[in-house]
């Protein structure tokens, strides 16, 4: 080949290579620019933007260590961030919380089954996305001409991690921010630092390292039948319900407060551990008699963690005394491992919405009718029954009129459409509960019933009403500080053909973890050694559980339960 032509061909080859490299460089820059666009779209302030940048750095430099190709690293990082944002929005729509790092640490089949049940096309969309993404990533692997030294990638990763840790140290992440939208990436990244630190330093479950005392083995042979016989126990999980008249300037119907009073005329307050929506926290309290606060930052996953591990609580104690235990659950049993958790906690018969034949949001009467049907079917067994009956009518959203024919003549009270709708639904609940009591009296005149109702948390519309001067940020801070204004609901005790054996634990204000003790004492059921010990804590602490002595009482009690084999694997 003549030298002139060879020279021209070489020059043309270099030019083509240059154009090729420029195209790849443009693609890489576009990937990073798109990531910045996501940052400016979803991250609201300087701290969250810094959290996003450090998280982006951690992802990119991690994949550079693996692939060494900047194009492939950026594309993979962007894919993961996109998936995170989509899953966070999905979780927010379903559980009212965004994804945090613990979601990655705790993955179970129940969660996957729940997702694919409520979003049946998710598997199809996931498969299509994988099929599309795979060849794109392979092409980037093949055509990316750039290589990054391992030493440089490692240095970048170290700086990104240190930056993220420093950011969390200077601005600790607030778990209650997970109840608000946006900041999906920064919240996930910052929660990872906090969760890993807490897991390493204190573990998932808080308990003393050792205690001198021991719980006695439960005396199963002890007689559980008092002279008058044991009553059926019906616990009503009154979704999102509490006395809204405590909020200033809220107009309520006539005789509204009477619904929250017990048979003895007392109004009793229940101090729960969740704000604005996490029913499963109170579910854990009232079934196990324990505090979710013992799980620290892992509390939002308590029912999934406790499944197969916490074998202690109200249903367990009742089963030892011959009770048949039922749970009438208004959602899918796979939701947050509810079925597995309740089975572990002593529920023998778990009936979820599918088993009950529920069709979407049902009035309380639907679940009350199911309960009375079970009582009628079980009459021949002669065994006392325990039922956890959930309701759903008061659940959000309150932006539509639910079953308007159930409240003929209802007139708006002037509180705003959502607040008035919430109060109207409470009136439906009140009517349905009155019908339940009448039905029990009429259909089972020779049976004894102890009924305990309680609110699992305040509705989300209550928080701004309780203190209108607080904006969303200030409210989040009050939530984190455990302001009791936002934690108090109610519990009420009613009876049919029965006089409570002992109401001494039923204090005017009571932490939710003590509610099982109230039920056992009122029903006259002998306490197993763990509840006998917890009664002493109630007496020492005046109705306060986890907050008593800054958690020391709960931590000691948890160790006693671990040593007794009632809590395993933690």
pLDDT of residue 120: 56
In the predicted model, is pLDDT for residue 114 greater than 60? no
267 SS3 class: strand
- Could you tell me the CA-to-CA distances from 497 to 5, 77, 372, 541 in Å, in that order? 108, 65, 16, 33
Tens-place pLDDT, residues 485-535? 899 999 999 999 999 999 999 999 999 999 999 999 999 999 999 999 999
Q: What is the mean pLDDT of the chain?
A: 86
Beta-sheet pairing, 491-496 with 449-455: antiparallel
Would you give the DSSP letter of residue 2? -
- Residue whose tokens read 């959502």: 418
Please say whether the beta carbons of 284 and 89 come within 8 A: no
- Indicate whether 250 pLDDT > 50: yes
Question: Could you tell me the two tokens for 170?
Answer: 């200077």
State the pLDDT confidence band at 93, using cuts at 50, 70 and 90. Answer: low
User: Own/partner pairs for 425-428, CB < 8 Å, 24+ apart?
Assistant: 425/393, 425/394, 425/398, 426/241, 426/244, 426/256, 426/259, 426/394, 427/253, 428/363, 428/364, 428/393, 428/402, 428/403
> Quick count: other Cβ atoms within 10 Å of Cβ 270?
26
Buried b (16+ CB within 10 A) or exposed e, 534-565: bbebbeebebbbbbbeebebbbbbbbbbbbbe
Tokens linked to 538: 């109630």
Residues 42-53: tens digit of each pLDDT = 898 899 899 999
Structure tokens at 529: 């050694």
Closest C-alpha among 164, 450, 168 to residue 318:
450
For the record, the structure tokens of 296 come out as 């620290």
Q: Tens digit of pLDDT for each residue in 143-190?
A: 677 788 888 889 999 999 999 999 988 887 766 666 666 788 888 888
Dist. CA 2–CA 540, nearest whole Å? 101
Res. 337 pLDDT band, cuts 50 70 90: confident
Residue 95: the pLDDT is 62
**d(C-alpha 537, C-alpha 535), whole Å:** 5
- pLDDT level of residue 220 (50, 70, 90 thresholds): very low
pLDDT of residue 15: 46
Kindly list the distances between the CA atom of residue 496 and the CA atoms of 155, 231, 262, 439, 450, in Å, as whole numbers in the listed order: 71, 9, 12, 11, 7
Instruction: Tell me what percent of the residues of the chain surpass a pLDDT of 70.
Output: 85
State the pTM of this model.
Answer: 0.84
Give CA separation, 20 vs 14, 24, 79, 133, 171, in Å.
10, 6, 24, 22, 44
Question: Which phi-psi region, left, alpha or beta, contains residue 154 (left: φ > 0; alpha: ψ -120 to 50)?
Answer: alpha
- Would the CA dihedral through 197, 199, 200, 201 be positive or negative? positive
Closest among 325, 330, 329, 332 to 347, alpha carbons compared: 325
Helix H or strand E encompassing 236: strand 232-238
The 3-state DSSP class for residue 510 equals strand
DSSP string, 472-506: HHHHHHHHHTT-GGGTB--EEEEEES---S--TT-
Three-class SS state of 390: strand
Contacts of 318 (CB under 8 A, 6+ apart): 233, 325, 346, 384, 386, 520, 525
Task: For residue 373, give both structure tokens.
Answer: 């049907």
In the chain, what are the domains? 3-202 (no CATH), 233-563 (3.40.720.10)
Residue 7: its pLDDT value, please?
A: 44
DSSP state, 268?
B
SS3 content of the chain, % helix, strand, coil (to 5): 60, 10, 35
471, pLDDT greater than 60: yes
CA dist., res. 526 & res. 535, Å (int): 12
Strand, coil or helix: what is 564?
A: coil
Q: What does the alpha-carbon distance between residue 192 and residue 176 come to, in Å, rounded to a whole number?
A: 15
């Amino acid at each position: 080949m003549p030298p002139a032509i060879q020279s021209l061909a070489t020059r043309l080859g270099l030019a083509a290579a240059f154009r090729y490299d420029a195209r790849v460089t443009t693609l890489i820059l576009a990937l990073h620019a798109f990531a910045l666009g996501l940052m400016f779209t979803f991250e609201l302030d300087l701290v969250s933007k810094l959290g996003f940048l450090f998280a982006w750095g951690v992802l990119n430099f991690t994949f550079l260590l693996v692939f060494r190709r900047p194009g492939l690293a950026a594309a993979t990082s962007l894919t993961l961030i996109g998936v995170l944002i989509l899953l966070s929005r999905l979780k927010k729509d379903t559980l009212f919380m965004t994804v945090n790092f613990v979601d990655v640490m705790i993955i179970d089949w129940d969660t996957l089954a729940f997702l694919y049940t409520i979003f049946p096309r998710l598997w199809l969309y996931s498969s299509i996305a994988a099929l599309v993404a795979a060849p794109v990533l392979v092409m980037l692997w093949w055509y990316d001409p750039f290589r990054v030294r391992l030493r440089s990638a490692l240095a970048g990763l170290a700086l990104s991690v240190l930056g993220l840790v420093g950011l969390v140290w200077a601005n600790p992440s607030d778990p209650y921010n997970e109840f608000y939208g946006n900041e999906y990436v920064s919240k996930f990244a910052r929660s990872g630092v906090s969760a890993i630190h807490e897991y390493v330093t204190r573990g998932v479950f808080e308990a003393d390292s050792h205690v001198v005392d021991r719980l006695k083995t439960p005396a199963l042979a002890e007689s559980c039948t008092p002279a008058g016989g044991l009553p059926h126990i019906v616990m009503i999980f009154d979704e999102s319900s509490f006395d809204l008249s405590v909020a200033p300037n809220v107009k309520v119907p006539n005789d509204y407060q009477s619904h929250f009073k017990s048979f003895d005329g007392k109004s009793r307050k229940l101090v729960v551990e969740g704000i604005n929506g996490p029913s499963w926290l109170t579910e854990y309290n009232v079934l196990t008699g324990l505090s979710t606060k013992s799980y620290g930052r892992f509390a939002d996953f308590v029912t999934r963690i406790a499944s197969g591990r916490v074998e202690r609580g109200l249903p367990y104690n009742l089963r030892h005394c011959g009770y048949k235990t039922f749970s009438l659950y208004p959602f899918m049993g796979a939701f947050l491992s509810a079925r597995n958790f309740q089975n572990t906690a002593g529920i023998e018969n778990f009936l979820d919405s599918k088993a009950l034949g529920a069709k979407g949001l049902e009035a309380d009467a639907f679940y009350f009718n199911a309960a009375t049907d079970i009582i009628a079917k079980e009459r021949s067994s002669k065994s006392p029954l325990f039922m956890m009956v959930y309701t759903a009518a008061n659940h959000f959203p309150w932006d539509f009129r639910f079953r308007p024919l159930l409240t003929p003549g209802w007139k708006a009270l002037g509180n705003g459409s959502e607040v008035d709708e919430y109060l109207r639904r409470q009136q439906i609940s009140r009517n349905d509960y009155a019908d339940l009591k009448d039905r029990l009296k009429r259909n089972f005149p020779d049976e004894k019933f102890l009924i305990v109702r309680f609110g699992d948390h305040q509705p989300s519309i209550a928080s701004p009403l309780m203190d209108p001067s607080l904006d969303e940020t200030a409210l989040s801070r009050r939530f984190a500080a455990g302001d009791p204004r936002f934690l108090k609901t109610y519990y009420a005790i009613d009876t049919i053909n029965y006089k409570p054996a002992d109401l001494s634990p039923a204090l005017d204000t009571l932490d939710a973890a003590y509610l099982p003790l109230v039920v056992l004492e009122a029903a006259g059921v002998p306490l197993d050694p763990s509840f006998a010990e917890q009664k002493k804590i109630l007496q020492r602490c005046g109705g306060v559980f986890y907050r008593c002595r800054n958690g020391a009482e709960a931590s000691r009690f948890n160790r006693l339960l671990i040593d007794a084999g009632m809590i395993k694997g933690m």
